A and B are shown apart, each in its own frame.
Chain A
Amino acid sequence: MAVRHQLELFPGCGVTLLLFDRLRNAAALRKKAMEGSMEGAFINPAMIVDPFQILVAVNKAVHLHKIGKMKTRTLYSEIIFSLSPNNNISDAFKKFGISDSDTAVLIVLVTDEGKTVNVEDIASQVEGQQVSLDELPRLADTAKIKKLYKITPQEEKIGTLLDSIVCRMSTKDVL
């Protein structure tokens, strides 16, 4: 059910994605994330259309982390920031991070060579039901996403929503 992917450009670096629905303790999780007592990036799945969107964000964050050029303080906060189409950090957290009233959460973990992710350990702290990443499209708020990423009507004709999102994520620092 969890999706795992090895980052090609950073051998040994693995990404694990866990999705939980029917969440009851969003506030507690957010607190743990802020304190740093629980590892991972806690993302609001309503803003995510496809796991590829997360992988692009993680790839960029890991790259910046390796060259010491992250804009935020930790790798996990950098992943959340990378999802945003603009360069405002606190705005990124508000829009893509987990909020107290959320009923679903996408948890992203990044592990180095050899280290494995203890999914049971994470799942035990989440009061919700783990579901397959295939549920992401159902949980996505397409209208909100289109508005946030400022997708133009011409753009929708030449590609998918995911295409538009990824393009903005990867080029936002050149503008």
Chain B
Amino acid sequence: AGPAMAEAGAAGPAMAEAGAAGPVVAEAVPPPPPPLPGLQLVRQGAEACVYRGLFLGRAAVAKLRIPKRYRHPALEERLSRRRTAQEARSLLRCRRAGISAPVVYFVDYVTNSIYLEDIVDSITVQDHINSLQQSGNDTSSLLILAEKMGELLARMHDEDLIHGDLTTSNILLRPPTEKLDLVLIDFGLSFISGLPEDKGVDLYVLEKAFLSTHPDTEAMFKTLLKTYAATSKKSGPVIKRLDEVRLRGRKRSMVG
């Protein structure tokens, strides 16, 4: 309890002030915000705090990893560093292949923070789909969006790059939205793999996220997969695996 308490005491909202009698709840203490001009907190996820601000004169996003105190420090350090390195590596890989992803400005391997290009005035595909559905607009534009997404993911998988956390909030639309210029973000869980299994799972994660977040989008996802299959040179085995993974899934026990 010693080291955790000492550090928690210094930061703000730590709860570990409670008497040593009860179980020590190692509260995940967020790191101090970076001193960037125009600083705004974008979101505080489980993995990292995301801020916007000016860095070296440019609009940037700073992702500061939240250290997990329940982990053994050596493991925490290694895992944190690996995720940061994977993210940086994947972003460069995307760029070299001509896949739109934020530019990396600076990687700090001490705090495992990464400073990236801020795609100013972008909106997530999630928000875009929601707003289109709410305003009851024609669904044809959603299908074209699905095609663009399928194409983007096909190109990413053809580079043997697995995103690892595909959701509609991890794909951005550059302004103006109508151009459907997509940018992939958040490569913290990404890795390199040529296996159809890994690509299939990547798509499965997206499918689950899609259907649970956006009602009545089955047709959209179907279009996405169709374009994916048409764009990717190695799509056959991947789609096959996707079907198999769907059958596996969670809560799919065939025991009555």
Contacts and interface: CB of A to CB of B under 8 A. Distances in A.
Interface stretch (A31-39, A108-116, A122-130, A155-163): A155-163
Given A158-B98, A171-B89, A166 B36 contact: no
Contacts of A154: 96-98
Which size bracket describes the interface of B in this complex?
20 to 34
A167 interface: yes
A52 B105 CA distance: 10
Contact of A166 (B88, B89, B105): B105
B91 to A, nearest CB: 7
A11 B37 CA distance: 12
Nearest to B99: A158
B107 interface: yes
Contact of B103 (A5, A163, A174): A163
A60 B104 CA distance: 12
A94 B57 CA distance: 29
Nearest to A63: B108
B153 to A, nearest CB: 16
Contact of A163 (B36, B55, B85, B117): B117
A164 interface: yes
A170 interface: yes
Interface residues of A, number: 29
A9 interface: yes
A170 B55 contact: no
B54 interface: yes
B95 interface: yes
B110 interface: yes
A120 interface: no
B35 A166 contact: no
Interface in A131-158: 152-155, 157-158
Q: In terms of DSSP, what is the predominant structure of the interface of chain B? A: mixed
A1 interface: no
A8 interface: yes
Interface in B54-85: 54-58, 85
Given A152-B98, A158-B100, A163-B103, A55 B117 contact: no
Contacts of A155: 95-98
A89 interface: no
B37 A8 contact: yes
Nearest to A150: B96
Interface in B92-118: 92, 95-100, 103-108, 110, 117
Contacts of A168: 92
Interface in B133-162: none
Going nearest first, the 5 A-B pairs with the smallest beta carbon separation are A154-B98, A55-B56, A171-B92, A170-B104, A163-B103
20 contacts: A5-B57, A8-B35, A8-B53, A9-B55, A56-B56, A56-B105, A63-B106, A67-B110, A152-B97, A154-B96, A158-B98, A163-B95, A163-B117, A166-B105, A167-B95, A170-B106, A170-B107, A171-B91, A171-B92, A174-B89
Interface of B: 34-37, 53-58, 85, 88-89, 91-92, 95-100, 103-108, 110, 117
Given A9-B106, A163-B95, 12 more contacts: A8-B37, A8-B53, A8-B56, A9-B34, A11-B35, A56-B56, A152-B97, A155-B96, A158-B100, A170-B106, A174-B85, A175-B92
